[in-house]
Amino acid sequence: MAHLFNRNVLLGVSGGIAAYKSAELIRQLQERGASVRVIMTHGAQEFITPLTLQVLSGNPVHTELLDEQAELGMGHIELARWADVLLIAPATADLIARLSAGRADDLLSTVALATAAPLLLAPAMNQQMWKNPATTANIDTLVKRGAQIVGPAAGQQACGDVGPGRMEEPPFIADTVASLFETGQLAGKRVVI
């Protein structure tokens, strides 16, 4: 199993049915040693509660752009600086489009613009939405800007369709996050202390 010891993973959860997988994703990231904080869009809160993700992560869940409780009232900057990686899972077609356009109209999209951390997206949407040329162009734009994409997987979807668009499974996503930090510098070396 890949490791994320001493790594800060900021998990963005957007509003798709795959949001339910974010609970297991938090566990997978923590099992690899990561500290996890969560940002949820309003749509995500329709699928899974902030309380669930707060209990699992051990940290308050962030939902609002303007946070009076945040130091200096700039929670988005605090979160952006804290993150070693910004993982958005699920990344819906809408969120991908907003990120591609450079919009900052909620906490998650604002943090995505404000962070210097790597951006990793785990798309989740209907297979036809995934195949749409607009989505393809948006993904291409984000990849050109340095974002990395994990998935989507193909298979049965909540709507009954079959095809690409399912969010990858949490263990695979967590391993992909860990691979971002593996340098291989000690591969094949023995260390005696």
CA gyration radius for the chain?
A: 16
Sheet strands (E) in 20-137: 35-40, 61-62, 85-91, 119-123
Q: Pick the closest to residue 88 from 179, 28, 22 (CA basis).
A: 22
> Is 180 in a helix, a strand, or coil?
coil
- Catalytic hit among 6, 159, 162, 179: 159
Q: 5 an active-site residue?
A: no
Residue that the structure tokens 């919009």 belong to? 103
Residue owning tokens 């900052």: 104
Active centre residues (catalytic): 159
